[in-house]
Structure 1
Amino acid sequence: MSEDSVRRGARTAIPILLVALLSLLAPGCRLMDGEDAGDVPPPVTETATKHAKPSGRKPGVVNIETEQSLNGTRAAGTGIVLDTSGLVLTNNHVIQGATRIKGTDTDNRRTYTAQVVGYDRAGDVAVIRLTGAFGLKAAVFASAAGVAVGDPVTAVGNAGGKGGAPTVVTGRVTALEQSVTARDDTNGTSERLSGLIETSAPIKPGDSGGPLLNTSGKVIGINTAASAGLAMDGSKPTKNHRGYAIPSDTALGVARQIQRGEPSSTVHIGPTAMLGVKVRAGGGSPGVIVAEVVPGSPAATAGVPVGAAIVSLGGQAVDSPGTLTGLVLARRPGEVVRLEWTTAQGVLMAAEIRLTEGPPQ
């Protein structure tokens, strides 16, 4: 098993990156819980033939665009149609922070607004629903259990975030059970992904969430990251290029859990609660330091100032930014919780606040 360091959201040539494409601002709207989904397709066990030709493009690909009004950015990625009524599988980092999501089915060329059904932050998997969609062509999945080094593969996606017909690139499986650490240059966070399929297919920013296909055109992985040698200026990748995909069995397992509405320590179901602060570690002091307060948010209404140290939420101690995020994600929009913070002068303050609805995390 290997381990590499990856980056997210970069705009220049870099060692390794997660392949959502970030650009500039547009206004946003609320996200709502997804409707009850149809059955997520079971994988069909199949072993690819090493000497067969790559499959080429297959149905079931969605171009995804998101607006992130709180960060002043937008993003582009890819999704995979799971059922005819518009349930779509993608990466969590494609929809993370989104205040508005649109998906264009590349088979019927129709564009839909989308709602978040649920997401797994640790596994980088998300499920969205295209509102009002019907009669879509769903992708066909196969188990990744039979995938072997040397197998030909095809990667399909919204490369460059250009929309329109998906880009199709080919390569071979170069390694299995790979681990990478994903760094997001936009907010300094990182996460570790493991069990990935490594391939030489030259995936690019915008391909995140798109299918990795075997020689029969069945989905065996979800493209999520690209490596050294990938140039962001439009030039050709070098021979050292590596792409990474989440195995289909892993992604579908999360999708089924989301479909059943079963939250866990990593899987969030439905709308996301928001406190309305950006924080940093306390540097040895209790709590986390407020670096920014979102105007009009519950934190702003309660009078939490920049520079304050949040020390507890709902009676539970806050000792890191990750702890605060976890405590908020465990709540639902509309819940009332007690927030405690200390001012820069060391005065303990408290308020009962009503959490509002925010973007997925």
Structure 2
Amino acid sequence: MDVTPPAGYPGNTAAGGPRREPTTPFGYATAPHATSGHVRPGHHQGPQGQYGPYAAGQGQYAPSGTWQPRPYGQQTMPQPPSTTGTPAKKQPIGWIIAAATAATVVSLVTGGLGLASLAAGAFQSVAASSQVTETVPDEGGQSFRAPGGQPGPQQATPDAATANTRSATAAESVGVVDIDTELAYQGAAAAGTGMILTADGQILTNNHVVAGATSIVVTVVATGEQYDARVVGTDATNDVALLQLDGASGLDTVTIDDDGGAAVGDAVTGVGNAGGTGGTPSAADGSVTALEQDITVQDETTEAGKQLTGLIQTDADIQSGDSGGPLYDSEGEVVGVDTAASSGGTDIDGFAIPIDDALSIVDQIRTGVETDTVSIGYPAFIGIGLAAAGAAQTVPGAVVGSVIENTPAASIGLAAGDVITGINGAAIDSAQTLTATMATLEPGQTVSVTWTTASGTSQTADVTLIEGPVG
């Protein structure tokens, strides 16, 4: 079924690690985080997985635990965050949907405040130092803004002042959390929303809210308490993630609908961390306009489409930063997970994952068993950036484009221009082979890496893989 307006995902935030003072995110004013409550000590063990196709404009982390530059413009390889200087600025995340003839096409705005600043969800993370925005019209004449001075995934930026929203009530805030993420290797930060499922701190959110995060901090909206969080599992295909708060207990949860879900015409309210500002959530009232909607979220840097299916469509004005937040019915029960929204024009259409579909994925994650779409925990990470396709090389293998400081690759002396030719004695003849091989490995595992230096010398060394950001 055709859906005309383009849509986007609201943002996400990073957790774990040292807390940064909030700064003004792209397109929004950011309020200080709550100081009440407590912060549980978290454990940040380096990048925990791969950066998916919606990573920052500077490049992306491949599933192999390597960093792959995007195929556009000049690339700046990511470096670990400095301990001094200006903190990364957060941006709300949101998917952008561009109009299409059959399925709605969405431009990914990556995660959190660094991701897209569109409605419910985003897959685009923006370089923290970048403040410049560029207006890019889509084929339908709607305007999308690509953050930063570098080319990147386009992101729609609806005007929060014109959105039909209000402050959420105390009842609507129960069980809602703000999710702040740090994307250390991208020098960025992001913000989004989540829902408390259990009293001990299991949190449901969108995958794109935590994609690329090297640390995650979750704030319970109703109390201001803050917790470090870790990813239990993700389903990037269906855009669902389950987090676990460190040391949480006695938390109030959201109330899940148990009487059949949403129907066309039902009154609904989308609640979330609109704009990534924190504090009292934003609430957008509307009604269900369609069910079983299919949309295609598109990464503008690769022109690759990602389809989400079976979504609830609503005319509620879902905003950037709302991603992962609840879509309530008239009884205050959760019927969906705010995930995407349209922008450009006078009307905004929101899209939500039906709560039953999301909880089915959560149940699979809780088993600890991976499937074709569900990943458990964090992927192995070696810490290199792959060179762009077509890079000159003298031997078959995966060409190193950059090496990230303080990673296994740096510890053994890998350098830009080197070619990885083997892992544990198995031949690596391309970047794709390296990606596939890394996907079979686990953080903490020691592997043998063979490579040929730029000068033609073959070397082999053992390294212990670390956790990388989830994708």
| Shorter-chain TM-score tier | 0.7 to 0.9
Pick aligned residue for 2:226 from 111, 116, 128 = 111
Shift of 1:311: 4.8
2:442 is aligned to 332
Correspondent of 1:165 among 280, 284, 287: 280
Which residue of the partner structure matches residue 297 of structure 1? 407
- How much has 1:276 moved relative to structure 2? 0.5
Does the residue aligned with 2:410 lie in a helix, a strand or coil?
helix
Corresponding residue for 2:383? Answer: 276
**3-state SS in 2 of match to 1:255:** helix
Paired residues of 1:20 and 1:207 also in contact (CA < 8 A): no
Contact 2:181 2:217 in 1 (8 A): yes
The one of 431, 441, 463 equivalent to 1:353 is: 463
Partner residue of 2:256 out of 141, 151, 155: 141
Q: Which of 89, 107, 112 is matched with 1:6 structurally?
A: 107
Is the Cα–Cα contact under 8 Å of residues 326 and 334 in structure 2 kept in the other structure? yes
Q: Secondary structure at the match of 1:160?
A: helix
> Which of 160, 173, 176 is the matching residue for 2:291?
176
CA positional deviation for 1:147: 2.6
Matched, 1:18 2:146: no
Kept in 2: contact 1:8–1:183 (CA 8 A):
no
Change (3 A) 1:281 1:197: farther
Deviation at 1:23, TM superposition (A): 6.2
The CA distance in 2 between the partners of 1:148 and 1:299, in whole Å, is 52
1:50 maps to which residue? none
Distance 1:12 1:87, change over 3 A: closer
**Structure 2 residue matching 1:295: 3-state secondary structure:** coil
Worse-superposed segment, 2-11 or 131-140: 2-11
Instruction: Indicate the SS of the match to 1:292.
Output: strand
Shift of 1:313: 3.8
Q: Distance in 2 between matches of 1:316 and 1:120?
A: 30
Higher relative contact order (CA closer than 8 Å, sequence separation 6+): 2
1:216 aligns with 2:324: no
- How big is each residue's C-alpha offset from its partner over 1:231-267, in whole Å with a ceiling of 9 and x where there is no partner? xxxxxx622x222212212211121122121122332
Gaps of 5+ in 1: 27-53, 230-236
What TM-score do you get using the length of structure 2 for normalisation?
Answer: 0.61
Residue of structure 1 equivalent to 2:315? 200
46, 51, 57: which one pairs with 2:172? 57
Q: What secondary structure sits across from 1:352 in the alignment?
A: strand
AA at the equivalent of 1:277: I
Amino acid at match of 2:413: G
Residue 44 of structure 1 corresponds to none
Q: Secondary structure at the residue paired with 1:98? A: coil
State the AA in 2 paired with 1:238: T
* Change beyond 3 A, Cα 1:301–1:11: closer
Question: CA offsets per residue over residues 25-83 of structure 1, 9 Å max, x none?
Answer: 59xxxxxxxxxxxxxxxxxxxxxxxxxxx998252100111112111111101010001
2:361 paired residue number: 254
Q: Tell me what 1:226 maps to.
A: 341
CA distance in structure 1 between the partners assigned to 2:350 and 2:184 by the alignment: 30
Amino acid at match of 2:404: V
Range with bigger deviation, 216-225 or 145-154:
145-154
**Contact between 2:236 and 2:374, CA under 8 Å: does it hold in 1?**
yes
Q: SS of the counterpart of 2:438?
A: helix
Question: For residues 90 and 16 of structure 1, do their structure 2 counterparts lie closer, same or farther at Cα, with a shift above 3 Å needed?
Answer: closer
What amino acid sits opposite 2:198 in the alignment?
A: D
Q: Is structure 2 residue 270 aligned with structure 1 residue 155? A: yes
Match of 1:232 in 2: none
Report the alpha carbon displacement of residue 102 of structure 1 after superposing the two structures with TM: 0.9
Distance 2:446 2:302 in 1: 28
Question: How far did 1:148 drift?
Answer: 2.9
Residue pair 1:273, 1:333 contacting (<8 A) in 2 also: yes
Question: How many angstroms apart in 2 are the aligned matches of 1:266 and 1:281?
Answer: 27
C-alpha change, 1:155 and 1:116, in structure 2 (3 Å) is: same
Aligned length, in residue pairs: 325
Asked if residue 238 in structure 1 is aligned to residue 238 in structure 2, the reply is no
Shift in Å, 1:98: 1.7
Deviations 1:125-181, CA, capped at 9 Å, x for gaps: 111112222211111222696433332211000001111111100122233333333
Q: Give yes or no for contact 2:119–2:319 (8 Å, CA) kept in 1.
A: no
Question: Residues 338 and 353 of structure 1 are in contact (CA less than 8 Å); yes or no, is this contact kept in structure 2?
Answer: yes
- In structure 1, C-alpha distance between the alignment counterparts of 2:397 and 2:360, rounded to whole Å: 36
Aligned-partner Cα distance in 1 for 2:253–2:428: 45
Whether contact under 8 Å (2:315, 2:350) holds in the other structure is yes
Percent sequence identity over aligned pairs? 41
CA-atom RMSD in angstroms: 3.4
The answer to whether 1:73 aligns with 2:188 is yes
Change (3 A) 1:251 1:325: farther
Take 2:372 and 2:461, find their aligned partners in 1: how far apart are those partners?
27
| Alpha carbons of structure 1 residues 63 and 11: separation in structure 2 relative to 1, 3 Å | closer
SS of aligned partner of 1:70: helix
More strand by share: 1
CA drift at 1:185:
6.6
